[in-house]
């Protein structure tokens, strides 16, 4: 028994010394230069486990890095490989507002026939957008995280939501326009009905949009770099097709129309941000200001009043002026 | 002349009453037009200069109109952005 105890104690001591050495070596490791680490294994046999322990993570990192890049490549390639063919071509995207609040959410048969061909996720997203559009009484608005939250898709990541939007765009039922680097607007396709809607403007649909997924699916095997080069080559054409995008030779009228839409959306956004009560107060201040500065004749002239009121909102809500907005797009 | 100005002032006080009952932008616009027409009429009538009380009454009605416009729901600008 005594012999076993002694052997046990000796083993314990050995293990304790060994562990202490490893701990000390780990503490000193960051301070030492790499050259020393390379020399150490040759100096003593007892310190051999230390370099092994240091080498391990390096080897692991080397192995992990390529795996990650492969994963990233896979993730980046997934949507590219997806083949999406438009459900309907040449649909007219009309920005419209509903005359009244709808008591029932009814989907026109023509639209129901189209959306029944959508995959489940895109179908759900479209229906959610459709309900939202009826609720806000207009089929356009800002595309982003606020919209994602308001249509109950908060659990999706931004990229997933973007993908859904892009897919719906590829199916030809949604139009997403880039206003600035960070701002996008959407126009949801709804069949125009004169009885319940008022036509505001027609949104321009990118002509090459339906071909986009086809092109991508044709060459799924090629590397990302080649695809990126191809996209870079094709971007000038797409940029020309994006409505609201500054293009040389674009008429000022077109620009001004885009700007008007932008201002309208910004005012709606500000209205939501400040709340109804505060917005009413701002409106009251605007009325008093316009009367004081421009006179009662302006106040009683509906068209002039709208013009001055818009200017007041632009100033009050820090909305960029036409010139600044144009510069920001250029 | 006194009777004429009294009739005009009566029209002005009618507008004051209607302003209190006004509930829509459309009604307001009609009242504003009436006010402008009445003001022009009074100014034409008193070409030599507005009496102080008439001037005061006109300014008071104008202030009511401005206040009422601010109290009405904010003007819908969607037509303007078409």
Chain A and chain B share a number of CB contacts under 8 A equal to 58
| Closest partner CB to B81 (pick from A260, A296, A305) | A260
Instruction: Say yes or no: A176 contacts chain B, CB-CB below 8 A.
Output: no
Per-residue model confidence (pLDDT) at position B34 = 93
Q: Please tell me the distance from the alpha carbon of residue A216 to that of residue A84, in angstroms, as a whole number.
A: 10
Instruction: Say yes or no: A300 contacts chain B, CB-CB below 8 A.
Output: yes
Q: Which residues touch A63 (CB under 8 Å, ≥6 apart)?
A: none
List of chain A residues whose C-beta atoms are within 8 Å of the C-beta of residue B70: 283-285, 287-288
Instruction: Say yes or no: B36 contacts chain A, CB-CB below 8 A.
Output: yes
Contact B70 A97 (CB under 8 A): no
Q: Is the pLDDT of residue B15 over 80?
A: yes
Decide if A105 contacts A147 (C-beta within 8 A): no
pLDDT tens-digit series, residues A39-62? 444 444 444 444 444 444 444 444
| pLDDT confidence tier of residue B5, bands split at 50, 70 and 90 | confident
Per-residue model confidence (pLDDT) at position A237 = 39
Q: Is the pLDDT of residue B70 over 90?
A: yes
Instruction: Say yes or no: B48 contacts chain A, CB-CB below 8 A.
Output: no
Q: Please tell me the distance from the alpha carbon of residue A109 to that of residue B33, in angstroms, as a whole number.
A: 47
Instruction: Say yes or no: A287 contacts chain B, CB-CB below 8 A.
Output: yes
Q: Please tell me the distance from the alpha carbon of residue A208 to that of residue A132, in angstroms, as a whole number.
A: 28
Whose tokens are 């009739």? That residue is B7
Q: Which of A75-84, B2-11, B26-35 has the highest mean pLDDT?
A: B26-35
Instruction: Say yes or no: B35 contacts chain A, CB-CB below 8 A.
Output: yes
Q: In a 3-state reduction of DSSP, which class is residue A296?
A: helix
Decide if A166 contacts A79 (C-beta within 8 A): yes
Q: Please tell me the distance from the alpha carbon of residue A102 to that of residue B58, in angstroms, as a whole number.
A: 44
pLDDT tens-digit series, residues A10-32? 777 887 888 778 877 777 665 55
ipTM for the predicted complex comes to 0.88
Q: Please tell me the distance from the alpha carbon of residue A236 to that of residue A234, in angstroms, as a whole number.
A: 6
Q: How far is B23 from chain A (nearest CA, A)?
A: 15
Mutation site for B-interface testing, chosen from A302, A303, A304, A314 by largest number of B Cβ within 10 Å:
A302
Decide if A178 contacts A184 (C-beta within 8 A): yes
The DSSP output letter for A244 is T
Decide if A83 contacts A214 (C-beta within 8 A): yes
Contact B66 A97 (CB under 8 A): no
Q: Percent helix, strand, coil in chain A (nearest 5)?
A: 65, 10, 30
Decide if A220 contacts A286 (C-beta within 8 A): no
Instruction: Return the C-alpha torsion angle A135, A136, A142, A144, nearest 10.
Output: -30
Q: How far is A123 from chain B (nearest CA, A)?
A: 30
pTM: 0.42
Per-residue model confidence (pLDDT) at position B1 = 56
Q: What is the mean pLDDT of residues B55-81?
A: 88
| Closest partner CB to A302 (pick from B29, B81, B82) | B29
| pLDDT confidence tier of residue B21, bands split at 50, 70 and 90 | very high
Q: In a 3-state reduction of DSSP, which class is residue B49?
A: coil
Cα dist from A25 to A18, A49, A56, whole Å: 11, 10, 15
Q: What are the residue ranges of helices labelled H in B1-82?
A: 2-21, 25-45, 52-71
Decide if A265 contacts A185 (C-beta within 8 A): yes
List of chain B residues whose C-beta atoms are within 8 Å of the C-beta of residue A279: 74
* In chain B, domain spans: 2-71
Per-residue model confidence (pLDDT) at position A156 = 87
Cα dist from A55 to A18, A36, A59, B38, whole Å: 18, 14, 6, 96
Q: Is the pLDDT of residue B43 over 80?
A: yes
Q: Which residues of chain A have pLDDT under 70?
A: 1-3, 28-82, 180-181, 204-252, 330
* In chain A, domain spans: 16-69, 93-241, 252-329
């Amino acid at each position: 028994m005594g012999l076993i105890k002694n052997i046990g104690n000796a083993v314990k001591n050995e293990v304790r010394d060994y562990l202490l050495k490893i701990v000390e070596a780990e503490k000193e490791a960051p301070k030492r230069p790499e050259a020393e680490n390379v020399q150490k294994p040759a100096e003593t046999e007892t310190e051999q486990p230390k370099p092994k322990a240091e080498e391990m993570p390096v080897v692991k990192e080397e192995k992990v890095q390529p795996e990650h890049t492969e994963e990233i490549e896979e993730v980046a390639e997934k949507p590219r490989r997806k083949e999406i063919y438009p459900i309907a071509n040449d649909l007219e995207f009309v920005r419209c507002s509903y005359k009244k609040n709808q008591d029932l959410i009814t989907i026109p048969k023509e639209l129901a026939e189209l959306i029944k061909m959508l995959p489940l996720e895109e179908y759900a997203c479209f229906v959610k957008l459709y309900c939202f559009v009826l609720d806000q009484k207009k089929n356009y608005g800002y595309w982003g995280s606020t919209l994602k939250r308001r249509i109950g898709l908060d659990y999706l990541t931004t990229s997933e939501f973007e993908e859904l939007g892009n897919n719906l765009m590829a199916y030809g039922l949604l139009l997403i326009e880039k206003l600035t680097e960070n701002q996008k607007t959407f126009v949801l396709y709804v069949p125009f009905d004169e009885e319940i809607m008022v036509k505001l403007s027609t949104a321009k649909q990118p002509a090459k949009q339906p071909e986009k997924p086809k092109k991508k699916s044709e060459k799924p095997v090629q590397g990302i770099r080649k695809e990126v080069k191809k996209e870079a080559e094709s971007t000038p054409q797409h940029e020309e097709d994006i409505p609201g995008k500054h293009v040389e030779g674009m008429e000022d009228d077109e620009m001004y129309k885009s700007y008007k839409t932008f201002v309208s959306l910004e005012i709606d956004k500000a209205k939501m941000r400040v709340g109804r009560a505060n917005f009413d107060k701002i409106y009251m201040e605007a009325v008093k200001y316009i009367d004081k500065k421009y006179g009662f004749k302006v106040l009683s002239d509906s068209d002039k009043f709208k013009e001055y009121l818009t200017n007041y909102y632009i100033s009050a809500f820090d909305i960029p002026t036409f010139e600044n907005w144009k510069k920001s797009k250029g | 002349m006194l009777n004429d100005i009294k009739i005009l002032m009566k029209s002005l006080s009618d507008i004051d009453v209607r302003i209190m009952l006004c509930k829509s932008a459309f009604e307001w616009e009609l009242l504003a037009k009436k006010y402008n027409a009445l003001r022009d009429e009074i100014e034409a009538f008193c070409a030599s200069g507005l009496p102080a009380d008439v001037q005061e009454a006109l300014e008071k009605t104008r202030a009511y109109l401005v206040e009422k416009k601010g109290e009405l729901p904010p003007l819908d600008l969607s037509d303007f952005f078409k």
